[in-house]
A = this chain, B = another copy of it.
Amino acid sequence: MAPSDETSAMRLSYAVGRLDHTLSQAIGQAVAPLGLTTAQYTTLSIVAAQPSLSNAQLARRAFVRPQSMNQMLSGLERDGLLRRAQSPQHSRILHLDLSAEGRRVLGRCEARIEELEAAMLDGIEPKERRRLSEAIARMTANLREVSG
C-alpha cells in the first residue's frame, strides 16, 4: 500500500509489502501464458530444487499446513505436472517429483522469471545486489528470532 511515493517517508514494512505485491503480480503475468499461477510456479520450483520431499515436509518449508499444500499438489498432479510416489520405507508417505511435462513447463517459466528479475534489478549494481540479498536474509532471520 502506498501512503506516499517518497522513499524516506514510507515505512519499510510498507515498502516490502508493496514490492512483494507487485512482484507476485508480475510473476503471475509471466507464468499465466504457461497455465500456472504464482503459487503453482513457486511450488513446482521448490519440488524441482529438492525432489523426494513429502507433502508434510514441503508444507513445513512453505510455512503452511499440510492440508493447504495437499490441495495445491492435487491440482498440479491433476494437471500432469507433478507425481506422487509411495515411499519404499513408509507406505503412507508420498514422495514428490515433477513429471516430464512439469519439468518442461517449469523450465520455460524459469526463463521468464530470470528475465523478470533482471528487469527488476535494472540499475542496481552486482555489489549492491549482494548487499540487498544479505540484508533481506538478515531481516527475515531477525524477525524469526523475535517473533516466530
Contacts and interface: CB of A to CB of B under 8 A. Distances in A.
Interface in A103-135: 113, 116-117, 119-124, 128-129, 131-135
A22 B115 CA distance: 26
A49 B148 contact: no
Interface in A2-35: 2-4, 7-8, 10-27, 29-30
A70 interface: no
Copies of this protein in the assembly total 2
Contact of A50 (B3, B15, B24, B25): B3
A139 interface: yes
Given A3-B46, A138-B124, A143-B26, A113 B11 contact: yes
A51 B13 CA distance: 20
> 8 closest A-B pairs (Cβ-Cβ)?
A20-B20, A3-B49, A26-B147, A119-B146, A1-B62, A7-B137, A22-B143, A15-B136
Given A16-B16, A122-B142, 17 more contacts: A2-B61, A2-B62, A4-B49, A10-B133, A10-B137, A11-B45, A11-B113, A11-B117, A12-B121, A13-B113, A16-B19, A18-B140, A19-B139, A119-B142, A120-B146, A128-B131, A131-B132
